[in-house]
Structure 1
Amino acid sequence: MSDDRAQQLRELRTLGLLPESWVCVFEAGSLVRGWGNASSDVDLYVVSEEPWTGAGASRHPVPLVPGVVLGEETVVGAMRWDIRYWTRGQVEQVLAKAGWEAYEQGAEELSLRETQLLDRLAYGAAAGGQELLSGWRAEAEASAFRSIVAARFLNMADSRVEDAVGQLEAGDLDSAVLSARAAFDYTVDALLASEGECGPGEKWRGRKLRATAPDVLPYDTYWALETMRSFDPARPGLWIDEVLTVCRGIAMEVDI
């Protein structure tokens, strides 16, 4: 454990923000990945046997038992800390929902917060409870998580491709451009999920693509379409056809 991680644990205890029954504390988010900047927050996950009981905690609904994840915000030095409190039981419920058996039986979709948790287990840096974090990470890696997220994005992309085709045929060019734009983003997200980058958030899409470097979508091709470099307002149909062709090609290569 680094000195910074050990200091995080001490700081939580000093501030009265560490549950007595804690079993794992880890940092996730952009700073851990080396993608942070001067305005980035420290994102901490605190997992305990019993629910957090902080009187001023914010409440974030989740389809689990207990049905909320609690949150605290504080400032340490010049950094804002965003702390999320999960119970060990909640983490284990999410991992079970992402299992292959649940996936093959058509389990309910993972919520945004559940998806964030599983994604952040992959790269979280433990301040305490490293062995537990490593076990959860291995379980998430072996689960159907990537397939669940990739399949969801592919379905969303396919719907937007169909919308774009119909709108183009009807001469509704503005709507067709927007649908093609959405189809491309969903398709890229599906590709990233298949490569292990399952976390939500379009602001990191470019960084994630650089990190994974999939052969099916070179970064220069991605960035040209993302920034609509070849778009000609006088002939939008050409750009729409280009985007939809790329989307269909990627969809055929995404492994779910």
Structure 2
Amino acid sequence: MSEDRSHQLDQLRTMGLLPPSWVCVFEAGSLVRGWGNASSDVDLYVVSDEPWTSDGASRHSVPLMPTDVLGEETFVGGMRWDMRYWTLSQVEQVLAKVTWDVFKQGTVELVLREVQLLDRLTFGAAAGGHELLSDWRARVEASAFRSVLAARALNMADSRVEDAVGQLEAGDLDSAVLSARAAFQFTVDALLASVGECGPGEKWRARRVRAAAPSVLPYDKYWALETMRSLDLADPAPWINEVISVCRGITMEVAV
């Protein structure tokens, strides 16, 4: 049985941080995924019909209407709560960006906060508005979101592989090492996105590889390359070539 988070609504209401027109409140982030630690925050998404207004709120620009997502931070029982306030219209606009029709036109552009929202809709735990969150989750999972991120990461990986090849041929080994490492990370992100692990950034990459357990990249192999364990500083070319080979092999397996 899922954990009852209705107390979060009560707490927000008591602190004056729950919009009267709210339609869905859900928790997302490391605590929900079971990856939290003593310093983890409670990450709450608060969605309402009308925009949140607050003199002390932070503002985060998004290419939507309204043009800002507002943020509030407070402490509850010694734990920091981090709230992000979205309007229902903004959520719908982001979902509209990742339809298959838009993806096939090649016009999908997502900023970081939009990627975070879509990713967190897939595993968020509702405090209120359960049916709405379930509908959003189903729409994300049926959308082109995974393909959008996988394609973007593959393009970046291909560019870095070409950089590494050229730098290696030119004898610029230090630059080739850095390009190969970047190529590997972009390739891993593409692989993860293709199987539904769409969280952005490197912070949780290792945990996401463990969670996804892709057969094309066993965790031990991933971790050895991520930490550059076999890199010989006196002779980096074998490591560079290995990484390039792994990237190309994974790319052949990633479905977009």
TM-score over 0.5 for the alignment? yes
Residues 88-107 of structure 1, C-alpha deviations (whole Å, 9 max, x = no match): 00000000001001111122
Question: In the alignment, is residue 115 of structure 1 matched against residue 115 of structure 2?
Answer: yes
Map 1:55-94; keep pairs closer than 5 Å: 55-94=55-94
Map 1:230-241; keep pairs closer than 5 Å: 230-241=230-241
Residues 152-182 of structure 1, C-alpha deviations (whole Å, 9 max, x = no match): 0000000000000011111111000000000
Q: In structure 2, give the amino acid aligned to 1:107.
A: T
Within 1, Cα distance between the matches of 2:178 and 2:3?
Answer: 46
Q: Secondary structure at the match of 2:93?
A: helix
Map 1:1-256; keep pairs closer than 5 Å: 2-3=3-4, 5-256=5-256
Residues 170-220 of structure 1, C-alpha deviations (whole Å, 9 max, x = no match): 111100000000000000000000010111021211111111111110111
5+ residue gaps, structure 2, are none
Residues 45-98 of structure 1, C-alpha deviations (whole Å, 9 max, x = no match): 000000001111100000001011000000001100110000000000000001
TM-score (norm 2): 0.98
Within 2, Cα distance between the matches of 1:201 and 1:11?
Answer: 31
Within 2, Cα distance between the matches of 1:106 and 1:201?
Answer: 23
Alpha-carbon distance, 1:227 to partner: 1.0
Q: Secondary structure at the match of 2:197?
A: coil
Q: Percent identity?
A: 77
5+ residue gaps, structure 1, are none
Within 2, Cα distance between the matches of 1:76 and 1:160?
Answer: 44
Residues 120-154 of structure 1, C-alpha deviations (whole Å, 9 max, x = no match): 00000000000000000000000000000000000
Within 2, Cα distance between the matches of 1:107 and 1:130?
Answer: 31
Within 1, Cα distance between the matches of 2:199 and 2:116?
Answer: 6
Within 2, Cα distance between the matches of 1:222 and 1:16?
Answer: 46
Q: In structure 1, give the amino acid aligned to 2:103.
A: Y
Q: Secondary structure at the match of 2:126?
A: strand
Q: In structure 2, give the amino acid aligned to 1:2.
A: E
Within 2, Cα distance between the matches of 1:29 and 1:91?
Answer: 18
Alpha-carbon distance, 1:108 to partner: 3.3
Alpha-carbon distance, 1:254 to partner: 0.2
Is contact 2:30-2:36 (8 Å) kept?
A: yes
Q: Secondary structure at the match of 1:114?
A: helix
Alpha-carbon distance, 1:2 to partner: 3.2
The runs of at least 4 consecutive aligned structure 1 residues that moved more than 2 Å come to: none
Q: Secondary structure at the match of 1:202?
A: coil
Alpha-carbon distance, 1:230 to partner: 0.9
Within 2, Cα distance between the matches of 1:121 and 1:107?
Answer: 22
